[in-house]
Structure 1
Amino acid sequence: MRIAVTGSIATDHLMVYPGRFTEQLIPDRLDKVSLSFLADTLEVRRGGVAANIAFGMGRLGLRPVLVGAAGADFGEYGQWLAANGVDTGSVRISETLHTARFVCTTDADQNQIATFYAGAMAEAREIELGPVVRRVGGLDLVVVAPDDPEAMLRHTDECRATGLSFAADPSQQLARLGAEETRRLVDGARFLFTNEYEAALLQERTGWTAAEVLARVGTWVTTLGENGVVIAEEGGAELRVPAVPTGGVKDPTGVGDAFRAGFLAGVVWQQPYERAAQLGCALATLVLESVGTQEYEPAWTDLSARIEDAYGAQAARSIAPHLPEVPTTAGGAS
């Protein structure tokens, strides 16, 4: 089973200011703000929803096809992804724009000042899925993850027109989509991924009840944070899968992306949805205990042990044979 993951590719530039932003703000001068903060640290991390999902699948031994737009500065990042099992041959490289960038400064009170630069992501709307399908010899599923909204709509429409199975993952883009656009992204999806808040927002945007959403999609997967995952299908009972206990939270960024990677790997391995969700939850916990969305180092014996502790020996025995015997190494790219 071959899966393409469409969506954002980005780098995060994260800085820490040791003081407090509020100490530099003059209440009666807020109409003319001109401030500069001297940061103590800078961390540059690889990110972007599609890249994170593809990375996780690649680490699990699959060969996902990453479909998105990046800039000429993508070279080193692309090498990193390729070294970790991702097919980057369908990434569009912009001739004029940089890869999307998230620049954020956090102060001592955890207040943040951030800017997101879409950059090359705006060119994702120029990507056609047909050439991707021909290049890789066919696709079984296309994940439409957060991206340039026009790109998301184009990919979804093309999937419907050509009969390609797709997964809808509108995520944070729901906030800027209208009713008709949201319906176009969801209607006919084999899988719909949301978190709990997005599930409510999606119903508000579409005007559909939960039952009406389920009538239009195959399987609705909703992540509930520390409360695990709920999987629903029309006419069936909800399936609830608890989260895998964590040894300590370091950074929640990218946890949902890791869950999707694990769940989709389970689907590829023809595991029942309960097992797929259990794998997703286990991989999500590894990210939760790491700093950065692609910095975790899966130890497959540890992953199996976590699954056994959380879900029992039978779950671990079902998943373990599919895990790589030796984890894919990151190589020299960093």
Structure 2
Amino acid sequence: MSVVVCGEAMLLMLAEPGIPLERATAFRRSVAGAESNVAAGLARLGHPVRWLGRVGADPAGKSVLAMLRADGIDTRHAVVDPHAPTGLLLRDSHPSRAIDVQYYRAGSAASRLTPDELTSEMVDGARLVHVTGITPMLSDSAHLATVRLLDLARDAGATISIDPNVRLKLGPPDRWRERVAPLMARADVVFAGEDELELLQVDPGGLPGLAVVKHRDKSAGCAGLRQEAFSVPVTDPVGAGDAFAAGFLSGMLRGMPYETCLREGAAVAALVVQCANDIDGLPDRAGLDRALAASTEAGETVHR
């Protein structure tokens, strides 16, 4: 197993493009969740991926697991909770207007994640373990479980990757600083926006691992390198950060230099924002190669 991710996966009900949430009558079903987005991105790029997490014993949970498995993601260790529901996310989709996101996750199966549900077997042989700040913010037990997972990852010799993925609906800034900032200090790779670093009061230069910073102008940089965002028509910006992380981490897993990792991350993000939901635009390896070639080579852009 190359990659292990652990976190919340919810059922996403996405309103028809351009229609405000309160006016929408048609919705499209998909999966939402920062960790599951990264899992899908890496799986499509050819990396064996395992997802750890919890869903309810309900139709939404069955749908989430089925969609993860459809991308070849290993869900054998997923917990199906008969006493708690799968989380639900409702949102609308606009290219240039504020997007309304409504979470229904209180008391969800994912929030009941506990440390004793995570074992060394789940990360045995993993080269990379990826988490976000969302999971430790779901509940006290989920926070302790995240700490346990990082301990297991370190014992297994895996690279630890963390994206704080700050969502203030989960808690105020001081709680994010209390729970998530210490986890970032334990990571080998941290993905974070400039605004997140400021909110968390974390100096990227003071982190022991590699800091990959997403700038306000949509560029990203690390180790003195900077990659501009590709100029593409934006259909929906949600999911760009997770897509960037998947592209960057794929390059790392293949031993590519940081310059290539940044470029591939930017390319995957550019493909995702051209689609309405978080995962439809995630490419396979051939699709990413074609996108990179089209960005640098003049001529025919239609794949025939």
Q: What's the counterpart of residue 301 of structure 2?
A: none
What is the identity, as a one-letter code, of the residue corresponding to 2:86?
Answer: T
Equivalent-residue separation in structure 2 for 1:290 and 1:17 (angstroms): 10
| Separation (CA, whole Å) in 1 of partners of 2:16 and 2:289 | 36
Tell me, in whole angstroms, the C-alpha distance in 2 between the residues paired with 1:297 and 1:183.
29
Helix, strand or coil for the counterpart of 2:109?
Answer: helix
1:152 to partner: Cα distance = 4.1
| Residues 73-112 of structure 1 mapped to structure 2, 5 A cutoff | 73=59, 74-104=61-91
Q: 2:165 aligns with which of 171, 174, 177?
A: 171
In structure 2, the gaps of 5 or more residues are 299-304
Q: Is the 8 A contact 2:31 2:67 kept in 1?
A: no
Of the structure 1 ranges 85-94 and 217-226, higher mean CA displacement relative to structure 2 is found in 217-226
Instruction: Decide whether aligned partners of structure 1 residues 104 and 231 sit closer, same or farther in structure 2, where only a CA change above 3 A counts.
Output: same
Q: Distance in 1 between matches of 2:53 and 2:250?
A: 20
1:268-287 CA-partner distances (Å, limit 9, x unpaired) = 11111221121111111111
Q: Percent identity?
A: 27
Distance in 1 between residues matched to 2:215 and 2:8, nearest whole Å: 23
Q: Note the C-alpha offset of 1:264.
A: 1.1
4+ residue stretches of structure 1 with deviation over 6 A? 16-21
Please, which moves more after superposition, 293-302 or 95-104? 293-302
How far residue 250 of structure 1 moved from its aligned partner, in angstroms, is 0.5
1:222 equivalent in alignment to 2:229:
no
Contact 1:221 1:231 in 2 (8 A): yes
Larger CA Rg, structure 1 vs 2 = 1
Does residue 267 (structure 1) correspond to residue 261 (structure 2)? The answer is no
TM-score by length of 2: 0.80
For 1:221 and 1:105, how far apart are their aligned partners in 2?
A: 29
Moved more, 168-177 or 65-74: 168-177
Write out aligned runs for 1:132-171 (5 A): 133-135=120-122, 137-145=124-132, 146-149=134-137, 150=140, 151-160=142-151, 162-164=154-156, 165-171=159-165
**AA matched with 1:168:** I
| 2:198 alignment counterpart | 200
Classify 1:275/1:135 alpha carbon distance in 2 versus 1 (closer, same or farther; 3 Å): same
Which one of 216, 222, 225 corresponds to residue 231 of structure 1?
222
Check whether the contact 1:3–1:140 (CA below 8 A) recurs between aligned residues: yes
- Quick check: 1:153–1:184 contact (8 Å CA) kept in 2? no
Is structure 2 residue 115 aligned with structure 1 residue 121? Answer: no
- Report how many residues are paired: 282
State the AA in 1 paired with 2:113: A
User: How far apart are 1:181 and its partner, in Å?
Assistant: 2.1
1:57 Cα shift? 0.7
Q: Is the 8 A contact 2:15 2:93 kept in 1?
A: yes
Measured at CA, do residues 62 and 15 of structure 1 come closer, stay the same or move farther in structure 2, by a change above 3 Å? same
| Cα-to-partner distance string for 1:174-215 (whole Å, 9 max, x where unaligned) | 754254323321122101111221121122xxxx54433x3x
Partner of 2:302: none
* Partner secondary structure for residue 84 of structure 2: coil
Give the Cα–Cα distance (whole angstroms) in 2 for the partners of residues 39 and 53 of structure 1.
Answer: 28
Are residues 1:183 and 2:181 paired? Answer: yes
Mapped to 2, the partners of 1:80 and 1:19 lie a distance apart of 25
Change over 3 Å in CA distance of 1:225–1:310 after alignment to 2: farther
Normalised by the length of structure 1, the TM-score is: 0.73
Kept after mapping to 2: 8 A contact 1:8/1:69: yes
Instruction: Give 1:143 shift.
Output: 1.0
Deviation of residue 110 (structure 1)? 5.4
Q: Which amino acid aligns with 1:239?
A: L
Secondary structure of the residue aligned to 2:31 is: strand
Residue 205 of structure 2 is matched in structure 1 by: 211
Mark the runs of 5 or more structure 1 residues left unpaired by the alignment: 22-36, 233-237, 314-334
